Amino acid sequence: MRYSVQTSSSLAAAVEAAVKRAAVSLLCRQSAEGFWWAHLTADTTLESDYILTQLWLHSPVNGIWDPPTRGKIDRAVASMLARQLEDGGFNIYLHGPSEINASIKAYFALKLAGLSPADSRMERLRTRILEMGGMQAANSYVRINLSLFGLYPRENCATIPPEIILLPFKFIYQMSSWTRAIVIPLSILHAANPNRPVPCGFSVDELCLPGAPVRPAADIHYFSWRNFFLWLDRALKVYERFAPKFIRNHAIKKCADWMIEHFDGSDGLGAIYPSMQYAIMALDVLGYGPEHPLRRQAEAEFNALMVDDDRHGFYMQPCFSPVWDTAIAAYALGESGVAPTSALSRVADWLLKKEVRRKGDWSKKRPHVEPSGWAFEFNNESYPDVDDTAMVLLAFEHARASDQPAQRACARRALDWILAMQGKDGGWAAFDVDNCWSVLSHVPFADHNAMLDPSCPDITGRVLEALISCGVNPEHQAVRRAVRYLLRAQEADGSWYGRWGVNYIYGTFLALRGLRATGMSENEPCIQQALEFIRAYQNQDGGWGESCASYDESRFVPNSSTPSQTAWATLALLAGGDMRSESLYNGIEYLLRTQKPDGAWDEGYSTGTGFPRVFYLCYTEYRNMFPLLALSTYLKRANVLDESSSGMARFTCAGN
């Protein structure tokens, strides 16, 4: 295909029209207060855990389980069955294969809700579970959940003692923030050793694979951290039988105090589903009855994650994402140049109210830094995160608050906070600094694959872009260290790993934007190699798609094209200085072709990452915000190139 000046001009006109439609569509979903808040969806494990939580809250009477939430449980069951795969199992990302933990959780929940094991859907599910290794192949959290009801031997579960909070070297702060918020309430449950009742005759023994080991075995013939922690786990089980009671009680109190302290200023413990679920259970075993204000608050916040209506059906959200959604939407609209000033002003006013001004867990390693930044959710003051803060600062590039001096002061604080959160390796992580004790990845309850929160290329790239947009000199020491980090982190194929989005396309787009913002030449080998990586994986329809399986394979795994990933790839090409390649034009044309008349796009895959290889997310506005940003960026670059070329032949690309 060969592009001429005329076809390029008509393409630019089409892009301009698409940008206007997309901007209007996005603006229609802005709240009166100024924020955007799109639903965040995940897999059926959330609905399964919701049903498990109802069993905890409403025990069977005389062996019969008839909870007052039966109507919602039935809708949860219908939602889950609608997502059952042909082979009987359940997956953890859209169109992905059956996954053992999601399938076991689903079987438990469906059977508990009343489906007979003889039901053909249950038979297929049970068969698939056994093919994948049965109950013995489940991760530690599935086993722990079932052990709470006596459905799995407690001695075969990972030990999570409350004494973990007493360990030196700020031990709990060496774990990722989300692990910390899960483990603390779970350790309280562990100490209580509950055996909650189940309906008469209920079990899941049929999921155990005959002959398979019931717990990981340590190899005594060689040392490894895995073997060390397996032996330590056995030692802890012995310790628990003889430990002084005053130590255990002291540890439980410390955990309870920590948990309750972290309720303050938050929409639930950690403002994420798993920790909120375990917090309810922990309050229960601590003696907080159903009418206690703390317990009622915890349950209300957990139930607020529920979506249950005729339009969307029933599902549980893993958390809320208003600050994140708002910052990206505002930046994309600002780049488009067509958003009303008043709409962006409302954004800035709302974001100023959401600045975190109290010290959270991050301050354990940065005690003398003034608090600032933004959390992901409406309220989560213990956990502002670097990624959201960088995105808000980028949004401030276009969104001007009613009180400009207050906004400038806020941006200055946030910038200083981000600079203080840079790690020793030169990169940035999400919630903590130097959260990289790799040995912790071998503990028995680390199999959620997110025990740590190390620096990652995607956040580091976004932070670099934000720093430069805020006026930080490219020669600033923090910028230079970050550039060196990204150069070290580049993969052999030219890509960068994406921790918080799927995957190498996401990481590469953000790393390129960060490096180019610092003034790095497009002719540098690292830039050209990254562009070649992007071009190499373009689909025949002109778009890009990457499967969540890329995390399992540690390499790019292609998938059907999606609007969000096509936008990321297009943004990567533009960041690298590509304005003339066939790949770029075909990517732009894919976005134009797939845009709906109302200005939005459809997307049927998971492109957000929670825990790689374990938990994925569907950000339901990614499909609209990032294409708008990509098309707007293209249009701005095209106009600049048009002006600089001064009437010469432009946008010429010789293709095959």
* Residue entry with tokens 């909650």: 196
Alpha carbon distance 144, 190 (integer Å) = 9
The sign of the torsion formed by the CA atoms of 589, 590, 595, 601 equals: negative
> Element (H or E) spanning 463, and its range?
helix 457-469
Residues 6+ apart with CB under 8 A from 99: 89, 90, 91, 92, 132
Q: Which two tokens stand for residue 630?
A: 């990509």
* Catalytic residue list: 387
> Element (H or E) spanning 420, and its range?
helix 404-420
The bridge status of strand 313-316 relative to strand 306-309 is: antiparallel
Q: Which two tokens stand for residue 138?
A: 């489940």
Residues 6+ apart with CB under 8 A from 178: 270, 272, 274, 275, 431, 450
Q: What is the DSSP letter of 210?
A: T
Instruction: Sort residue 507 into left (φ over 0), alpha (ψ -120 to 50) or beta.
Output: alpha
Q: What is the largest CA-CA distance in the chain?
A: 85
Q: Which two tokens stand for residue 25?
A: 């569509």
Exposure letters 441-466 (e unless 16+ CB within 10 A, then b): bbbbbbbbebbbbbbbbbbbbbbbbb
* Residue entry with tokens 């042909």: 86
Among 400, 392, 401, residue whose Cα is nearest residue 469: 392
Residues 6+ apart with CB under 8 A from 342: none
Alpha carbon distance 54, 49 (integer Å) = 9
